[in-house]
């Protein structure tokens, strides 16, 4: 970290010692129930970037103690969105440092006057380091983006007749060698650079958007409440097994009733107590999209906690009954071989940056279904919870990836980085553990896993993730050589990125087939694990045409894909279990001589219009579906096979 930014964190020390009320328990998605209310704070917030030389003026002047507008001019900033592309100011688009958000919320009187009601403030995603105040009182701090964090603010809003509260959030998007993703600040002190000139250096290829990317919400629970629910599932003959563990906070004296309802609202199993097993005869399994005539079947787990007749809490969790297993050459869902034919994505769009947007999300899912895609990886960070909820509903299989992208520096493999990485996996698994669509965890993308410290780093990280969730395989995505990768021995599935005839042997399509075939054979011979081609592709400017194909033309992207596909078709009969195109859509990156307003490897433009390659991929994916559909519609008793390595 640079000396100036190091001083920034030291200066903040006294602020971070106040009485934070951060929640250490579960992270259930806020939903309205008979006992819970939700108030979403989407809309315009007051916003101000701290352009002072040390970026600390807001803390020195304590902007959180009074309305933000009293400390200086503010902008209207939409939430959720990234702040970078909202104005016409290049200085704000490329800003590194602290920005400040503020919003006043009006609370219902029943929230502020009923001391049996617990009021919680939840920030669904803030990039990257956040400090939060309510009415000028520090309530929570969080390190890292993409994942939610909460604070119980009941005592701050139930202290008098006031029904409003002022929420102030300071966010710093600075990346260091020990953050996820890592980065470093480079200062240029020699002439002819401007005074105090610095920039953020990163080793990942997407724009470092920042801000409040997802909703900020207030929600209520009773003071004794359901804090967390963990569900795992299995199948025994034709009986579905739903194992549950429930955590209750606030009191030790309560009763728990658990019911499982089918899609028609019929109770199919019920139990009492904090943990147990629900048995579902002739269970409807959760199947991926296009793998079964009735995919994505979801039950509802209804949990009722009661202390008295009038003091109770309710929560309903969707549950998909399915199994995941891995053999030396197969990835199995419900005992049947599953082949990933899908995409890599980004949370990225015009103007909004990484800001959550329902119309864009539904458009993307409609495009996935049009393609015949059955899966995607959350490259290179956890996506919004709403994305995973739709995957559960539609049957789209997910490789859930943490923000471990760009881990290239030796110091990023040290104890400080490892500690943070383990905490991020704690948060990711806690948030996403109950989604049937999530079938595998990915702990990193393209790390420098040939460095000596990588062996201990990934052994520890993967073992920790398996301890958190023994029901799913764990991987990371590599672009190292098969005989140099020190983390690969610890993964359950090999995920490899390669760009033959693009970054290597550029323009030479004829090298793809022999090089790709050699890649697969060497990896499998060395590790004897199923392989996913987790990235491949070529930049393409929509409307550029050249025949014979040349780089950046639509014809070149099509030809590259077709050469890869010929090898995939050979090797998926053996041990290749998936192919994920890079990328679903064009996306923004830092400015670079090799980036023409972003990365153009999408099969769709950033505005979600198809390039020629989209039709090539659509034809291929539907052909794969037609080849396998007859087998996938077999009765459940024929679908369950032996599972040498079951999760």
Asked if pLDDT for residue 74 goes beyond 50, the answer is yes
Lowest-confidence region among 45-59, 137-151, 302-316: 302-316
Active site residue 446: yes
Q: What is the pLDDT of residue 462?
A: 98
DSSP state of 441: E
Q: Which element (helix H / strand E) includes 39?
A: strand 38-40
Q: Pairing mode, if any, of strands 438-445 and 474-478?
A: parallel
Q: How far apart are CA 164 and CA 156, in angstroms?
A: 11
DSSP 3-state helix, strand, coil percentages of the chain (rounded to 5)?
Answer: 25, 30, 45
How many of the other CB atoms lie within 10 Å of CB of 362? 11
Given pLDDT bands bounded at 50, 70 and 90, which one contains residue 21? Answer: very low
CB 301 within 8 A of CB 258: yes
Q: What is the rounded (10 degree) CA torsion for 383, 386, 389, 395?
A: -60
Q: Give the pLDDT mean for 531-552.
A: 97
Q: Which element (helix H / strand E) includes 156? A: helix 154-157
Q: Is the dihedral of CA 498, 502, 506, 507 positive or negative?
A: positive
In the predicted model, is pLDDT for residue 232 greater than 70? yes
Q: How far is CA 61 from the centre of its chain?
A: 35
For residue 647, the model assigns a pLDDT of 64
- The pLDDT tens digits of the residues spanning 603-645 come to 999 999 999 999 999 999 999 999 987 554 443 333 333 334 5
Residue 22: per-residue pLDDT: 34
**Alpha-carbon gap, residue 223 to 307, rounded angstroms:** 11
Mean pLDDT of 102-122: 95
Best CA proximity match to 276, nearest among 261, 291, 262, 257: 257
CA nearest to 320, candidates 376, 248, 398: 398
Q: Which of 189-198, 361-370, 504-513 has the lowest mean pLDDT?
A: 189-198
Region 258-263: mean pLDDT is: 98
Cα 201 from Cα 57, distance rounded (Å): 24
At 468 the three-state DSSP class reads helix
Do residues 208 and 182 make contact, with C-beta atoms less than 8 angstroms apart? no
Please give the full DSSP string across 588-603, using - where no structure is assigned.
----BTTBSSSB---S
Distance, CA of 614 to CA of 602 (rounded, Å): 9
Question: Who contacts 190 (Cβ-Cβ below 8 Å, separation ≥6)?
Answer: none
Flag whether pLDDT at 2 surpasses 90. Answer: no
Distance of alpha carbon 536 from alpha carbon 516, whole angstroms: 10
Quick one: pLDDT at residue 23? Answer: 36
Which pLDDT score, from 0 to 100, does residue 631 have?
Answer: 52
Q: What are phi and psi of 549, to 5 degrees?
A: -60, 140
Mean pLDDT in residue range 258-284 = 97
Beta partners for 496?
Answer: 478, 533
Flag whether pLDDT at 8 surpasses 60: no
Q: Are 112 and 147 in contact (CB under 8 A)?
A: no
Nearest to 30 by CA among 431, 433, 436, 468: 431
pLDDT of residue 175: 96
In 61-196, which ranges are E strands? Answer: 75-79, 98-106, 117-123, 126-127, 129-134, 137-143, 149-152, 164-172, 183-188
Strand partners, 576: 531
Q: Are 496 and 515 in contact (CB under 8 A)?
A: no
Give the C-alpha separation, 286 to 640, whole Å. Answer: 13
**Nearest alpha carbon to residue 155 among 147, 165, 146:** 165
The pLDDT value recorded for residue 24 is: 64
91, 194 Cβ separation under 8 angstroms:
no
pLDDT digits (tens, 9 = 90+) for 150-186: 999 999 999 878 789 999 999 999 999 999 999 999 9
Mean pLDDT score of the chain, rounded to an integer? 93
Predicted confidence (pLDDT) at residue 459 exceeds the cutoff of 90: yes
With 50 as the cut, is the pLDDT of residue 13 above it? no
Region 285-309: mean pLDDT is 94
Q: Say what the pLDDT of residue 10 is.
A: 34
Rounded to the nearest 5°, which phi and psi values hold at 178? -115, 5
- Give the helix/strand (H/E) hosting 626: helix 612-632
The rounded distance, in Å, linking the Cα atoms of 290 and 152 is 43
Report helix, strand or coil for 64.
Answer: helix
Minimal CA–CA distance to 614: which of 573, 589, 586, 635?
586
CA-CA distance, 71 to 49, in Å (whole number)? 12
Residue 181 confidence (pLDDT): 96
Buried b / exposed e along 560-593 (16+ C-beta atoms within 10 A): bbebbbebbeebbeebbbbbbbbbbbbbbbbeee
**Gap between the Cα atoms of 149 and 169, Å rounded:** 12
Among the listed residues 141, 446, 480, 579, the single catalytic one is 446
Q: What digits encode the pLDDT tens for the residues 563-589?
A: 999 999 999 999 999 999 999 999 999
Cα 568 to the center of its chain, rounded Å: 27
- Estimate the crossing angle of helix 512-527 against helix 554-571, to 10 degrees: 40
Say how far residue 549 (Cα) sits from the centre of its chain: 36
Residues 6+ apart with CB under 8 A from 191: none
Report yes or no: 34 and 221 within 8 Å, Cβ to Cβ: no
CA angle 446, 457, 123 (to 5 degrees): 70
| pLDDT tens figures, 463-493 | 999 999 999 999 999 999 999 999 999 999 9
Global confidence as pTM? 0.93
Q: Tell me the C-alpha to C-alpha distance, in Å, between residue 489 and each of 23, 457, 529.
A: 36, 12, 10
The owner of tokens 């967390």 is 228
CA distance 421 to 126: 17
Q: Which two tokens stand for residue 388?
A: 């995973």
Structure tokens given for 52? 């002072």
- Residue 644's pLDDT is what? 44
């Amino acid at each position: 970290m640079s000396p100036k930014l190091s001083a920034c964190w030291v200066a903040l020390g006294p602020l971070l010692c106040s009485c934070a009320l951060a929640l250490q328990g579960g992270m259930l998605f806020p939903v309205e129930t008979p006992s819970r209310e939700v108030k979403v704070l989407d809309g315009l917030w007051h916003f101000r970037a701290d352009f002072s030389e040390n970026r600390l003026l807001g803390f020195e002047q304590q902007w959180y103690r009074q309305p933000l507008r009293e400390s200086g001019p503010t902008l209207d900033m939409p939430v959720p969105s990234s702040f970078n592309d909202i104005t016409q100011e290049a200085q704000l688009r490329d800003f590194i440092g602290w920005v400040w958000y503020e919003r006043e919320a009006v609370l219902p009187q029943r929230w502020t006057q009923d001391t049996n009601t617990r009021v919680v403030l939840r920030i669904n995603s803030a990039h990257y380091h956040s400090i939060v105040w309510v009415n000028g009182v520090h309530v929570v701090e969080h390190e890292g983006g993409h994942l939610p964090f909460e604070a119980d603010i009941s005592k701050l809003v139930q202290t008098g007749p006031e029904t409003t509260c002022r929420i102030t959030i300071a966010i710093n998007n600075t990346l260091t060698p020990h953050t996820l993703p890592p980065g470093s600040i480079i200062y240029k002190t020699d002439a002819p650079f401007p005074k105090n000139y610095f920039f953020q250096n990163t080793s990942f290829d997407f724009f470092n958007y920042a801000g409040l990317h997802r909703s900020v919400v207030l929600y209520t629970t009773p003071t004794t409440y359901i804090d967390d629910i963990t569900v795992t599932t299995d199948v025994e003959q034709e009986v579905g097994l739903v194992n549950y563990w429930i955590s209750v906070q606030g009191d030790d004296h309560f009763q728990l009733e658990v019911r499982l309802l089918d899609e028609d609202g019929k109770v199919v199993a019920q139990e009492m107590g904090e943990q147990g097993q629900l048995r579902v005869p002739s269970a409807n399994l959760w199947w991926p999209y296009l793998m079964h005539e009735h995919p994505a079947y979801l039950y509802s787990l209804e949990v009722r906690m009661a202390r008295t007749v009038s003091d109770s809490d309710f929560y309903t969790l969707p549950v998909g009954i399915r199994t995941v297993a891995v053999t030396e050459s197969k990835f199995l869902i419900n005992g049947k071989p599953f082949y990933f034919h899908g995409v890599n994505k980004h949370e990225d769009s015009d103007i909004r940056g990484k800001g959550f947007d329902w119309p864009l999300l539904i458009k993307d899912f409609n495009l996935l279904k049009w393609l015949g895609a059955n899966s995607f990886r959350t490259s290179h960070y956890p996506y919004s919870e709403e994305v995973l909820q739709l995957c559960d509903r539609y049957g789209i299989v997910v490789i859930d990836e943490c923000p471990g992208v760009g881990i290239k520096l030796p110091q990023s493999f040290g104890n400080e980085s490892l500690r943070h990485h383990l905490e991020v996996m704690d948060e990711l698994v806690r948030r996403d553990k109950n989604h049937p669509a999530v079938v595998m965890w990915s702990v990193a993308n393209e790390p420098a896993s040939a460095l000596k410290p990588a062996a201990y780093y990934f052994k520890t990280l993967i073992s920790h993730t398996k301890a958190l969730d023994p029901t799913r395989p764990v991987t990371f995505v590599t672009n190292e050589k098969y005989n140099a990768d020190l983390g690969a021995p610890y993964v359950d599935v090999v995920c490899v990125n390669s760009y033959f005839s693009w970054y290597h042997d550029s323009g030479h399509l004829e090298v793809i087939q022999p090089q790709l075939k050699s890649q697969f054979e060497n990896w499998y011979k060395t590790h004897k694990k199923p392989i996913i081609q987790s990235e491949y592709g070529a930049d393409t400017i929509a409307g550029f045409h050249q025949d014979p194909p040349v780089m950046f033309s639509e014809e070149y992207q099509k030809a590259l894909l077709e050469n890869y596909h010929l090898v995939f078709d050979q090797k998926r009969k053996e041990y290749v279990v998936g192919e994920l195109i890079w990328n679903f859509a064009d996306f923004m990156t830092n400015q670079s001589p090799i980036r023409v307003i972003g990365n153009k490897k999408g099969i769709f433009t950033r505005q979600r219009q198809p390039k020629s390659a989209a039709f090539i991929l659509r034809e291929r994916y539907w052909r794969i579906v037609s080849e396998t559909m007859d087998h996938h519609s077999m009765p459940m008793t024929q679908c369950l096979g032996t599972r040498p390595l079951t999760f």
